[in-house]
Amino acid sequence: MTDSGMTERAGDEVVEICRDLIRIDSTNPTSSERAVAEWVAERLTDAGLSPEIYESDPGRASVVARWAGEDSSRDALLIHGHLDVVPANADDWQVDPFAGEVRDGCVWGRGAIDMKDMDAMVLAVLADWSRQGKRPPRDVVLAFVADEEAGGVKGAHHLVDNHAELFEGCTEAISEVGGFSMTIGGRRLYAIETAEKGIAWLRLVAKGLAGHGSMLNDDNAVTTLAEAVARVGRHTFPIELGQTVEQFLREICDALGITFDPNDVEGVLAKLGPLARMIGATVRHTANPTMLDAGYKQNVIPGEAHAYLDCRFLPGGEERFREELARVVGPDVAIEVVQTQIAYETTFDGDLVAAMTAAIVDEDPDARVVPYSLSGGTDAKSFSELGMRCFGFSPLRLPPDLNFVGMFHGVDERVPIDGLQFGVRALSRFLARA
């Protein structure tokens, strides 16, 4: 037994669970989550819970179970993780992305850090506590959901809209992309997500005069669209520092031994190395062209052309973002909404934050725990609509030279084994206090 309350067995078990999860291909959208949901349900049943599987569409499966705590009169805690992963082209990888291979002290594979690692940590803690006959201090709802990688419409959103009773009493939640370490100025900072940007997936539509490709045409939809796309792709939105981002940057400056200057944010970002790509996206709105669709034959000028944008707006800034984007796109191109989701922000305080902080520091006495904003989005958006305070807390202690953020949706995704084992211990400590 370790002083975290976990048995030594749990450290080996989390690795095997993570490998098993990776081996079940749950690529969104080419595969479904049904097989991995059934596998998770079996693990929950083995631990004495009574899971239920919910499908939004055939195969698009989520599994939910309530873990009864010592005091069920208290507000409940939600721990949620997604089961789907983004596609992986095996030709680009050093290993088979769905083999769950162990190499160089890491578990490799699609989902290793997004987010079958956290799913594995939760299941390993549950299994270990169950064998010891331990229960959490309060009820914990465990939700392993579908479709997060496509916005959660068939997963978390479906559960919130159609099965809200499953989350009765839940006032707080934890999930992915938080509690991981980053080494800055020789200090290990552990970033807990307290905010995330909103999502606006948009389609640009340009219309023009269709005709033969050999003739003059001064009303070409492709040209109009291309010019608008270029303007968007080259546009830089102004810096707007929200509460979470400013607090994070101040902590970074303190770790670096420099004075925070709100007028020199770019100077701070320049000192962050690979992290600058993610952190830099949290200081301003972003709009990135991602797809183009126009024409059907080389010698035919189409009458309509389309482009797609992945836009992320800051908490409290959606209206300003839309106004500025419309100016950049211009009056000749229509903007259509494909999907939009809220931005989210909570404060870095309260008993749950104290429990997360203590769990990290107990495992790493040199740790400094700080809040940060995620440049992307998670299923926290859905669950926050039920009134929960949502945090990113899937603890990992990482080596300083690992480009952790670069592996999200990237090639050769992998998670260090000792990081997984650190996470299990920290998560156990957290649950004992939560």
d(CA 71, CA 137): 6
Domain 8-181+376-433 has what CATH class?
alpha beta
Rounded (to 5) percent helix, strand, coil in the chain: 35, 25, 40
d(CA 139, CA 77): 6
Asked if the model's pLDDT at residue 189 lies above 70, the reply is yes
d(CA 68, CA 216): 72
Asked if the model's pLDDT at residue 3 lies above 80, the reply is no
d(CA 339, CA 320): 18
Q: How confident is the model at residue 124 (pLDDT cuts 50, 70, 90)?
A: very high
Q: How confident is the model at residue 340 (pLDDT cuts 50, 70, 90)?
A: very high
d(CA 421, CA 418): 5
Asked if the model's pLDDT at residue 271 lies above 90, the reply is no
Mean pLDDT over all residues of the chain?
A: 95
Domain boundaries, the chain: 8-181+376-433, 195-341
Same fold for the domain at 8-181+376-433 and the one at 195-341?
A: no
Identify the burial level of 313 via C-beta atoms within 10 angstroms of its C-beta, where 0-12 means exposed, 13-18 middle and 19 or more buried: buried
Contact 395, 381 (CB under 8 A): no
Contact 217, 301 (CB under 8 A): yes
Asked if the model's pLDDT at residue 245 lies above 90, the reply is yes
Q: How confident is the model at residue 401 (pLDDT cuts 50, 70, 90)?
A: confident
> Could you read off the pLDDT of 126-170 as tens digits, one per residue?
999 999 999 999 999 999 999 999 989 999 999 999 999 999 999
DSSP 72: T
Asked if the model's pLDDT at residue 51 lies above 80, the reply is yes
Backbone conformation region of residue 48, classed left if phi is above 0, alpha if psi is from -120 to 50, else beta: left
Contact 390, 173 (CB under 8 A): yes
> Could you read off the pLDDT of 285-326 as tens digits, one per residue?
999 999 999 999 999 999 999 999 999 999 999 999 999 999
Q: pTM for this one? A: 0.92
Query: In Å, how far from its chain's centre is CA 4?
Result: 27
Q: What is the CA radius of gyration of the chain?
A: 23
CA distances for 238 relative to 148, 233, 248, 270, 320, angstroms? 29, 15, 19, 17, 11
Query: Span 195-341: which CATH code?
Result: 3.30.70.360
Contact 208, 309 (CB under 8 A): no
Phi, psi values for residue 394, rounded to 5°: -130, 85
In a 13 Å sphere around the CA of 317, the CA atoms on its Cβ side amount to: 25
